[in-house]
C-alpha cells in the first residue's frame, strides 16, 4: 500500500473516532455524571456541595438557614437553605413579623430597625420567611434577624423579587427538594442607608432542584430596577453569578462536574408556571 493511501485510511479512522468521541461518547459521559451527583457528599444541613467561598463573611448557623454576613456592608453576602414541600405546606407559628438584631452579634456590627425606618427601603428577607414555616417558631424568628436582611426597594421587594420567590416555591412543590442560595451584589459606588447599611445594586438567586438523582440548577440575577415578571429574562449561568459576586459556589463538586454544571445557561423547566 502506498504511503498516501495509508495516510487517507488513517485520517478517515481518526475523523470517525473524533465524531464518535464528541457526538456520542462525551455527551453520554456528561449525562451520566450529572445523574451521579450525590447529595450524600454534602454533610451540611443547609448547604449543598460546600460552603460558598467568600471574602469578608462571618458565618451564622440557624435552625432554618445559614448566613454569610458582612459586618462592614451590614448585609448578608449569601444565605443558603434547604427547602422541602412539607415546609411549604406546613404550619406558620408566628402571627407577627418582628425584625431584630441577632443577639449573638455586637449591635455595631449589624443593621438595626432604625437604619430602615423612613428610609424608603424595605427590610428584605433573603431566606424567605414563608420558606421558614412548617418548622418551628424559633426558625421563623431567626429569619427576621438582620443577618438575613438587605435593603430592597419597595416595588422590587413586593413585586419582582416576590414573584421570583413564589416561582421557586412553586417549583419546589413539583420536585423532591430544593437548595437555595441568595444574596445581594454591589458595584464600586457605595450608597449607604443612614450612613451605615450599604444599598445593593441587585440580587442573585441560585436554586438547585432535585428530583430523584437528577439535579436541575437555576440561577437568576435581578438589578433593583427590574420590573418584569418574565423570569426568563433574568436567567444566567452560575459562573456569571460567581463573577458578579466574587463568591465560589459548590466548590466541593469535582471540577469535572462543577465546570459543565456552572457554565450552562439555565432554562426554567418547561411548563413550570
> What residues form DSSP beta bridges with 220?
205, 235
> Alpha-carbon distance 118 to 29, whole Å?
56
Report 82-111 residues binding DNA (CB under 7 A).
Answer: 92, 97, 99
116 part of the interface to DNA, by CB under 7 A: yes
Angle at Cα 122 formed by Cα 182 and Cα 164, nearest 5°?
40
The CB-of-191 to DNA minimum distance in angstroms stands at 17
Nearer to DNA, 166 or 213 (CB): 166
| CB < 8 Å & 24+ apart, contacts of 211-214 | 211/175, 211/176, 212/176, 213/35, 213/36, 213/37, 213/38, 214/34, 214/35
Q: Is 130 in the site for DNA (CB under 7 A)?
A: yes
Q: Contacts with DNA: how many residues (CB under 7 A)?
A: 22
In whole angstroms, how close is the CB of 81 to DNA at the nearest point? 13
Which triple of cell numbers denotes residue 213? 438523582
Torsion from C-alpha of 108, 112, 118, 119, nearest 10 degrees: 60
Site for DNA in 143-182 (CB under 7 A): 154, 157-158, 162, 165-166
Least separation, in Å, of the C-beta of 150 and DNA?
9
| Element housing 253 (H / E) | none
In the complex, the smallest distance separating the C-beta of residue 216 from DNA, rounded to whole angstroms, is: 23
Task: Confirm or reject binding of residue 73 to DNA (CB under 7 A).
Answer: no
Any contact of residue 136 with DNA (CB under 7 A)?
no
118 binds DNA (CB under 7 A): yes
Question: 226-245: which residues touch DNA (CB under 7 A)?
Answer: none
Contact 97, 90 (CB under 8 A): no
C-alpha cell at 80: 443558603
Contact with DNA (CB under 7 A): which of 125, 153, 205, 210?
Answer: 125
Backbone angles phi, psi at 86, to 5 degrees: -65, -25
Q: Is the CB of 122 or the CB of 142 nearer to DNA?
A: 122
DSSP 267: P
Binding interface with DNA (CB under 7 A): 92, 97, 99, 116-119, 122-125, 128-131, 133, 154, 157-158, 162, 165-166
Amino acid at each position: 500500500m502506498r504511503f498516501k493511501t495509508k495516510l487517507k485510511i488513517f485520517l478517515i479512522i481518526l475523523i470517525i473516532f473524533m465524531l464518535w468521541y464528541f457526538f456520542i461518547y462525551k455527551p453520554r459521559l456528561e449525562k451520566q455524571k450529572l445523574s451521579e451527583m450525590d447529595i450524600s457528599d454534602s454533610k451540611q444541613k443547609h448547604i449543598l456541595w460546600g460552603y460558598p467561598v467568600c471574602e469578608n463573611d462571618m458565618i451564622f448557623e440557624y435552625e432554618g438557614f445559614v448566613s454569610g454576613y458582612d459586618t462592614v456592608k451590614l448585609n448578608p453576602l449569601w444565605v443558603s437553605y434547604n427547602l422541602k414541600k412539607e415546609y411549604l405546606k406546613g404550619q406558620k407559628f408566628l402571627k407577627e413579623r418582628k425584625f431584630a438584631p441577632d443577639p449573638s452579634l455586637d449591635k455595631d456590627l449589624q443593621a438595626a430597625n432604625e437604619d430602615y425606618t423612613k428610609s424608603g427601603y424595605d427590610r428584605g428577607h433573603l431566606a424567605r420567611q414563608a420558606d421558614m414555616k412548617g418548622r418551628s417558631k424559633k426558625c421563623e424568628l431567626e429569619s427576621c434577624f438582620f443577618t438575613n436582611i438587605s435593603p430592597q426597594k419597595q416595588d422590587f421587594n413586593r413585586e419582582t423579587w416576590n414573584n421570583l420567590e413564589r416561582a421557586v416555591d412553586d417549583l419546589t412543590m413539583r420536585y423532591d427538594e430544593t437548595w437555595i442560595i441568595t444574596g445581594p451584589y454591589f458595584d464600586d459606588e457605595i450608597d449607604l442607608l443612614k450612613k451605615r447599611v450599604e444599598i445593593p445594586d441587585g440580587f442573585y438567586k441560585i436554586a438547585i432542584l432535585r428530583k430523584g438523582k437528577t439535579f436541575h440548577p437555576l440561577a437568576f440575577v435581578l438589578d433593583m430596577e427590574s420590573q418584569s415578571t418574565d423570569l426568563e429574562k433574568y436567567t444566567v449561568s452560575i459562573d456569571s453569578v460567581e463573577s458578579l459576586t466574587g463568591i465560589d459556589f459548590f466548590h466541593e463538586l469535582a471540577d469535572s462536574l462543577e465546570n459543565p454544571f456552572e457554565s450552562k445557561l439555565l432554562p426554567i423547566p418547561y411548563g413550570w408556571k
